[in-house]
Amino acid sequence: MENQDYLIPLNGLASGRKEFLWNAGKMFFEDFGNEEMLDADLEIEAEAEKSGKEVHVDCRISGTVTVLCDRCMDELVLPVDTEAKISVRYGEAPDEIPEEGEADGDREIVWIGTMETELDMRQLIYDYVCLSLPMQRFHEDGECNPATVEVLSHGIKVSGEHPSGNPFEALQGIFGDNDDNNN
């Protein structure tokens, strides 16, 4: 998995703001083993701000991803427009969740080892894109494949249906014709 494009160098990061611009396509999601994303055209704009030992990263992800429609199974292009705001902290994450006053505002806190020199943004980008997509993914009304919609609305006629309409008729008499046992 090639990750040089999604790294923020923390060691060489000068105080102040630094901008990063990356693109993510289908291969980005394939590297995570995600086969749902048939295609992607995403632009990631990250702005890292370092002051002292603190690093804040604001990340905007926009573009489109192509998935299968849950209704008709045709390709469906979905817009992506999401933001991630993180604060980088060095050391190990505390065992306890901080109390309300100790949080870092509206930022997600990312803990990295004290010897880490880079912040790998791949997992964060992947997570935010996947979480920004709707749970149910389908075309707007009237845009689904008409043949599939027809089958879904009327059902499929299965040949060889039982003539009496009772699928359990074949089970009658399985225990013999003794009606005395049914009382």
Residues spanned by the domain of 8: 4-139
Residue 182 lies in a domain: no
Asked whether residue 183 is domain-assigned, the answer is no
d(CA 74, CA 12): 46
Residues in CB range of 10: below 8 A, 6 or more apart: 50, 55, 88, 112, 116, 117, 118, 119
Structural domain includes residue 29: yes
Q: Would the pLDDT of 138 be above 80? A: yes
The confidence score (pLDDT) of residue 127 equals: 96
Distance CA 117, CA 140 (A): 46
Beta strands in the chain (DSSP E): 7-9, 16-25, 39-51, 54-68, 75-90, 108-112, 118-120
Confidence band for 162, pLDDT divided at 50, 70 and 90:
low
Q: What is the pLDDT of residue 116?
A: 86
Strands lying side by side in the sheet with 108-112: 16-25, 39-51, 54-68, 75-90, 108-112
**Which of 127-131, 138-142, 148-152 has the largest mean confidence?**
127-131
Q: What is the pLDDT of residues 63-118, one digit of tens each?
A: 999 999 998 999 999 999 999 999 998 877 777 665 544 456 788 988 888 888 89
Residue 98 lies in a domain: yes
